[in-house]
Structure 1
Amino acid sequence: MASAEEHYVTSKQITTRLKRSAGQLDGVLRMMADDRPCDEVLVQLSAVKSSIDKAMKLVIARNINNCVDNMADADVKNLEQSLDLLLKTK
């Protein structure tokens, strides 16, 4: 089934998320080099962690979606709804 479901999560989305995470982590390293206060560094590290968590969810969603080729349409719809919920969670 070569449809929109097959490309529910694209490699570009995952790559974009990981590049954003890498940029945030570079920022944290600069903050450390500048001896920024601990609380500021921790806020940014938390943002990096959240971004990586979202990238992991995208990878999982893509993997699951690649397994739906032989599923009934109703099952695919239910899975899509579950994936939407997964991607929205923190």
Structure 2
Amino acid sequence: MTLVEWAELVRNELGLAGTDALEKGDVDRILDLTRDAAHSVARPAGPLTVYLLGVAVGRGADPENAAAVLSRLALAQADEGEESVNV
């Protein structure tokens, strides 16, 4: 099963059939953001960040722009040498 197929199963299970299906580019964007947050901030920041991305998109934010902003934010944390976030 591909991640796109998995996303479709999840969408159907959550009753999101009326929303746009995820394409490979969407999945790649989400995985890239997860990686940036997990590696640049702290591992738990990955899923938390993409969850918050989903909330923002659900409220009307553009997925591509919002993901780019969040990736830059996460990478800036690594560039600034910030200490890891404690849970």
TM-score under structure 2 length normalisation: 0.30
Structure with higher Rg: it is 1
TM-score under structure 1 length normalisation: 0.29
Per residue, is there more helix in 1 or in 2?
1
